[in-house]
Structure 1
Amino acid sequence: MKSKSSMMSRDLISKALQQSVIKLNPKLMARNPVMFVVEVGLIISLLLIFVPNAFGESVSTGFNIAVAIILLFTILFANFAEALAEGRGKAQADSMKNTQKEIIANRIEGEQIVAVSSTQLRKGDIVKVVQGEMIPGDGEVIKGLASVDESAITGESAPVIKEAGGDFSSVTGGTMVISDEIIIRITSDPGESFMDRMISLVEGAERQKTPNEIALNTVLISLTIIFLMVVVTLPFMASYLNIVLSVPVLIALLVCLIPTTIGGLLSAIGIAGMDRVTRFNVLAMSGKAVEASGDINTIILDKTGTITYGNRMASEFVPTEGHSPQEVGEWAAVSSAFDETPEGRSVLELMKKQNWEYPQSLSEGAEIIEFRAETRMSGLDLTDGRKVRKGAVDAIRKWVVSQGGTIPDNLQANNDAIASAGGTPLAVAVDQEIYGLIYLKDTVKAGMKERFEQMRSMGIKTIMCTGDNPLTAATIAREAGVDDYIAESTPEDKIAVIRREQAEGKLVAMTGDGTNDAPALAQADVGIAMNSGTVAAKEAANMIDLDSDPSKIIEVVAIGKQLLMTRGSLTTFSIANDIAKYFAIIPAMFMVAIPQMQVLNIMNLHSPMSAILSALIFNAIIIPILIPLAMKGVAYKPMSSTKLLRRNLFIYGFGGVVVPFVGIKCIDLIMQTFL
């Protein structure tokens, strides 16, 4: 029994072959000027088969037929490359469409719950989703916490936790709640969902060309026009030497001179580049974003969740003078009574591990002070008038001083000790007194130092942004191996560093998932938002990582570089090919009238006709041979731009000269048996 993937491959190839023929329509071919010129040559060759002397003296009908057939296959091979690239995207889009289906939603209307079709939901509607039910549309969790299966979107079987508030409140239509229940506010109208946008982007054959692709296309058109002018004027120049050049020979010369190889593969390379990013579970909003990622000079990364595992957990209570660890733990637990963040929960878990109790009754009726980026602390205002705060050490220090309190002598020493160990200290204070610190531990992800070394070898600067104090930031930065860091960073700091790098002419990439990351994601040249993040972050970014893996930006950069390398390498190969074709066709055209031209026939080709047909056949078959490379991309290895250029010039420049000499000679040897 054949695998599903192999059957899918046969299906894709079959559809691509059909599209190759459909794309012969001159209106469609006109979008690719290089291949359109080849099609015009095909039409003229077909005319000469039936009217051999339509343009004056002609060669044999058999030669005309051979030229027409070769030109037809040249065009079909180029169309096949583009159709195959488009087909892969359309197949993926069809798979996504299969996951879309009408879902019954429990819409909350006042105090009632009404069952409606998901197609009736509108932006702003409130729905309830319980265990075992599908989420009917894109939205944000406004109440509750649930485990959600997002495998329909990401392909990953591991469920993710979605909860109200924070950076993990965004949910996607078509995913399933597998435990608990949540209340969701719908954030998109029908036809505008995340899945709809994914399908539109993935299947879009009418994609926008990137700036580099447009520039290269302009160069190819210019070369085509130049060689067209040369070929058109060549008969007049040859007449002075009493040489008659037939139209089929001139057509063969033109087709071999113009950059047909890269002209036939250029569109496929761009489409395949987008496809590679999508298959890597990253949704790119445009080809420009993918291409820009290949030119990135600087990457801005959040520490938590990107460089470190992000599970900062309370591991120790460190008291100030006159207090005990248990006292610190008790007040830390009181301040965390309503704190649903992982850090807040870990404080209560540490108390349980220590078998310490805390006065839970103190939190009853207390006013909750939410954490804000501006204050960098949270806590409770108790009913007895006392104020309990937990937060960044410098923020708590300022707050205590503003209350008229004093700073313990050993606070700074304890703070520095935790920070130097790579931990994050949080201070706990009650009114005018700081009781101590909570030691939060985080761990640098395995292999990060090696990955940043790869970035450095690629000429990319890495900057870590963290809300930690300078000592903690310095320790993590040193352990991870980043080039620079920004401690105690705010959203404004991230934008400032992005603008600073851009002002120096650099392209900047950034990852983020929170609403406060949205401005910086929009400012960056390549902004990658996590699918688990907020709607604001996803709307601001030009890429969305469906796996919500912030460190994936490193692979995205590699894919972007691979796209640029593939286009550049195949362009180099295509232009280098022409050298061998010159030595095949030019001597063949003139050496009968000018015997001295025989010295240029360094390949010792059998005859003028076999030389021309061999060059033309090689020009046609090199396109399908290079299709797998265009689809897969040139292998990328992190190295300096100088080494990369030298390597690719040798492989695709020198190789592009040698391969046609060998290929044309081999075809000529085969042709001898037919001519």
Structure 2
Amino acid sequence: MESPIKPSQSGKTRAERKHTPKASNKGLYQRAIKDAFVKLNPRIMLKNPVMFLVWVGTIITALLTFDPNLFGTVPGENQRLFNGLITIILFFTLLFANFAEAVAEGRGKAQADALRSTKSETTAKKVLPDNSTQEVSSTSLRKGDQIKVVAGDMIPADGEVIGGTASVDESAITGESAPVLKEPGSDMASSVTGGTRILSDELLIRVTSDPGKGFLDRMIALVEGAERSKTPNEIALTVLLAVLSQVFLIVVATLPAIANYVGTPVSVAILIALLVALIPTTIGGLLSAIGIAGMDRVAQFNVVATSGRAVEACGDVNTLILDKTGTITLGNRLAEEFLPVNSHSIEDIANVALAASVFDDTPEGKSIVRLAEKLGAKVNFDRSQAEAIEFSARTRMSGTNLDDGSQVRKGAVDAVKGFVRSRNGQLTPELDTAYERVSRLGGTPLAVCQDSEIYGIIYLKDVIKPGIKERFDQLRRMGVRTVMLTGDNRITASVIASEAGVDDFIAEATPEDKIAVIQQEQAKGKLVAMTGDGTNDAPALAQANVGVAMNSGTQAAKEAANMVDLDSDPTKLIDLVTIGKQLLITRGALTTFSLSNDIAKYFAIIPAIFASAGIGKLNIMGLASAQSAILSALIYNALIIPALIPLALKGVKFRPLTANQLLQRNILIYGLGGVIAPFIAIKLIDVLIAGVGLA
């Protein structure tokens, strides 16, 4: 079963979600052609050992075109024409390789240009110490400054909302047209990005980045490729290709002695042609384009990667750490039902649940308030005299200290039990029965108490995302292990884990548990990926090999991660693993194809070189002449690079297979295809060359 990369929860396709417009093909190719010539600079060519050898060979054959006897007398006619044709073919080989890289870079530059047009210097209303405002240029803002923005204003810099509530248009960054509500005190709604526009009301914002270091600035630099450096796998493959080229160079260097011994001296131009035909020019010319295209595919998914290393690491991931809420389930846990215990009525638990949730601004808290009010509950205390107790990952409870001194709490059942015990309260089996009932439904049970008395259970209902189990099955076939983290109890966690099809789960997880499980997996030699959005996720995001922060999350989370998802869709981590693996598959497939090509080129050129010594019987391809054989092999060697550019940029079609299955597939399709295709193509080119009388 194939695994198409699926759209995010917004329902938009990848093209619709893309945050920057596509550059026209005409403009892209025109710039790529120009850049291909610029990249002929020897200092640039030196970065690619394989293509640098071709560059040197082109210079030498160009000199031999003017003086065929530069390195000694060469027998035969039309040597200038033959050497000139070799020079032209080698020159186009270089241009095609540079063109492939330039096209890949051009797509990133087009995105950067579109983003740069979004970013502009604006006037900001800076808040002074006396709470008055002063209009200043956005470029003068510094980290820690406070600014005020009102409806219609462009937000001048990255920041966190510390006052007010307003709708913000983030379409310039995320591509989503729906406005986003921003307010203080919420991990998911307090972070704002420079370049977005406020649509209603007003906000007080604390600036979190200096000029030139904002999110949009980093995004422009990354998609433009200005900060691209070779990844470890890319470096390793470059070294391998350089070593192979050196081996072929040594082999070719020994041929003149053998040729002279059998009475068939060969020219330097022919030796260069043989060397270029045998070294892995195909993958050498496409290697950079494959890596750049991988980052571009990530950018098309509205994800900003800090480096190509992060994209590549996605393909090597062995373990996925996933939060339950918002990733495996829809995330909108809402109060479904109150289950009273200890002879309390529905009205009793509704009143206490309302009191415990009146200051809770989370979606769950608001849903509890709505359900309680629907059942007739009312606030019967002075809110101005009450104290809000915020939820803590350590206490796993939240609530209110009322004006009469009593304390109401709601939270994890074990935590509330401990709270009641500390006040000498009594626990009954009825509570455990209600707790297990909700847990076995896959819901989240929250206990509610006032002082030492437990009133019952709140049933928070959540729904597993459709199709998530099939996606985990695909990951499993690729050898990727999935681990679900949740603050829920073990019964609820086991039900959700079973329905979702994850390999393992950790219940009642704390922020420390996230780091611990990542370190345990890494200690086994595994590469770990995880998502997060809150400040408490930052340490784990920094520890993971691939950390994906939500754009709607806190600044701390985004700074700790090495990827930021502009759509804030936690399930996109699964897509990123797919893209990373597709990058590695594409690189492996084209490397296999490139090396397999050598067999046909060997049978085309070697018999031609030694034809006069009676070894011409090896000319199994029936090529017209020695010169035709050499030119045909070189022309194929040059043309196959632009022919494979679309595949390098788009990527080999992804299939959820194991490493062994992928290796077998690569050998069968790209290995066997790499052997057969050149035989056919070289023969056809030879027929054309012989037909026009070039050789």
Q: TM-score range by the shorter chain?
A: over 0.9
Once the two structures are TM-superposed, the CA of residue 505 in structure 1 deviates from its matched residue by 1.3
Once the two structures are TM-superposed, the CA of residue 206 in structure 1 deviates from its matched residue by 5.3
8 Å CA contact 1:86–1:205 kept in 2: the answer is no
**1:388-403 superposed matches below 5 A:** 388-403=408-423
Task: Choose the corresponding residue for 1:350, options 371, 385, 396.
Answer: 371
**1:154-233 superposed matches below 5 A:** 154-168=174-188, 169-205=190-226, 207-233=228-254
Other-structure match for 2:158: 138
**1:265-344 superposed matches below 5 A:** 265-344=286-365
8 Å CA contact 1:335–1:389 kept in 2: the answer is yes
Task: Choose the corresponding residue for 1:66, options 85, 103, 117.
Answer: 85
* Paired letter, 1:242: G
> Deviation digits for residues 373-427 of structure 1, max 9, x if unmatched?
1111111212211111111111110011001111133001001101110111111
> Deviation digits for residues 293-314 of structure 1, max 9, x if unmatched?
1011110000011111111111
Q: Secondary structure of 2:404's match?
A: coil
Once the two structures are TM-superposed, the CA of residue 474 in structure 1 deviates from its matched residue by 1.0
Q: Are residue 98 (structure 1) and residue 128 (structure 2) matched? A: no
Task: Choose the corresponding residue for 1:584, options 588, 595, 604.
Answer: 604
Aligned length: 669
8 Å CA contact 1:317–1:326 kept in 2: the answer is no
Once the two structures are TM-superposed, the CA of residue 135 in structure 1 deviates from its matched residue by 1.4
Paired with 2:171 and 2:369, the residues of 1 have a C-alpha distance of 32
8 Å CA contact 1:334–1:363 kept in 2: the answer is no
Paired with 2:645 and 2:50, the residues of 1 have a C-alpha distance of 17
Other-structure match for 2:25: 9
**1:80-91 superposed matches below 5 A:** 80-91=99-110
Paired with 1:19 and 1:141, the residues of 2 have a C-alpha distance of 44
Q: Secondary structure of 1:478's match?
A: helix
Q: Secondary structure of 2:385's match?
A: coil
Paired with 2:558 and 2:345, the residues of 1 have a C-alpha distance of 45
Paired with 2:358 and 2:40, the residues of 1 have a C-alpha distance of 70
Residues 257 and 135 of structure 1: is their aligned pair in 2 closer, same or farther, counting only changes over 3 Å?
Answer: same
> Deviation digits for residues 507-534 of structure 1, max 9, x if unmatched?
1110111111111111111111111111
Q: Are residue 651 (structure 1) and residue 651 (structure 2) matched? A: no
Once the two structures are TM-superposed, the CA of residue 7 in structure 1 deviates from its matched residue by 6.6
Task: Choose the corresponding residue for 2:460, options 440, 459, 463.
Answer: 440
Paired with 1:644 and 1:353, the residues of 2 have a C-alpha distance of 57
Paired with 2:405 and 2:269, the residues of 1 have a C-alpha distance of 98
Once the two structures are TM-superposed, the CA of residue 659 in structure 1 deviates from its matched residue by 0.3
Other-structure match for 2:60: 44
Q: Secondary structure of 2:73's match?
A: coil
Other-structure match for 2:10: none
Paired with 1:363 and 1:5, the residues of 2 have a C-alpha distance of 51
RMSD: 1.4
8 Å CA contact 1:77–1:624 kept in 2: the answer is yes
Other-structure match for 2:49: 33
Q: Are residue 21 (structure 1) and residue 37 (structure 2) matched? A: yes
Paired with 2:66 and 2:500, the residues of 1 have a C-alpha distance of 73
* Paired letter, 1:255: V
Q: Are residue 368 (structure 1) and residue 388 (structure 2) matched? A: yes
Paired with 1:307 and 1:181, the residues of 2 have a C-alpha distance of 35
Q: Secondary structure of 1:495's match?
A: helix
Other-structure match for 2:262: 241
8 Å CA contact 2:381–2:402 kept in 1: the answer is no
Once the two structures are TM-superposed, the CA of residue 552 in structure 1 deviates from its matched residue by 0.4
Q: Are residue 546 (structure 1) and residue 551 (structure 2) matched? A: no
> Deviation digits for residues 283-338 of structure 1, max 9, x if unmatched?
11111111111011110000011111111111111101220111101111111111
Paired with 2:336 and 2:181, the residues of 1 have a C-alpha distance of 23
Normalised by the length of structure 2, the TM-score is 0.94
Paired with 1:197 and 1:156, the residues of 2 have a C-alpha distance of 20
Other-structure match for 2:592: 572
**1:412-491 superposed matches below 5 A:** 412-491=432-511
Paired with 2:378 and 2:41, the residues of 1 have a C-alpha distance of 79
Q: Secondary structure of 1:646's match?
A: helix
* Paired letter, 1:422: G
* Paired letter, 2:571: S
8 Å CA contact 1:408–1:434 kept in 2: the answer is no
Paired with 1:611 and 1:102, the residues of 2 have a C-alpha distance of 61
> Deviation digits for residues 221-250 of structure 1, max 9, x if unmatched?
111112112222211222222221011111
Runs of 5+ consecutive residues of structure 1 not aligned to the other structure: none
Q: Secondary structure of 2:325's match?
A: coil
8 Å CA contact 1:415–1:437 kept in 2: the answer is yes
* Paired letter, 2:71: F
Other-structure match for 1:673: 691
Paired with 1:611 and 1:463, the residues of 2 have a C-alpha distance of 57
> Deviation digits for residues 152-176 of structure 1, max 9, x if unmatched?
1111112222221231221111112
8 Å CA contact 2:349–2:455 kept in 1: the answer is yes
Q: Secondary structure of 2:691's match?
A: coil
Paired with 1:387 and 1:352, the residues of 2 have a C-alpha distance of 20
Other-structure match for 1:108: 127
Paired with 2:455 and 2:66, the residues of 1 have a C-alpha distance of 99
Once the two structures are TM-superposed, the CA of residue 598 in structure 1 deviates from its matched residue by 2.5
Paired with 1:80 and 1:416, the residues of 2 have a C-alpha distance of 64
Q: Secondary structure of 1:294's match?
A: helix
Paired with 2:203 and 2:443, the residues of 1 have a C-alpha distance of 34
Q: Secondary structure of 1:378's match?
A: strand
Paired with 1:617 and 1:359, the residues of 2 have a C-alpha distance of 83
* Paired letter, 1:45: T
8 Å CA contact 2:341–2:454 kept in 1: the answer is yes
Other-structure match for 1:663: 681
Runs of 5+ consecutive residues of structure 2 not aligned to the other structure: 1-19
Once the two structures are TM-superposed, the CA of residue 6 in structure 1 deviates from its matched residue by 8.2
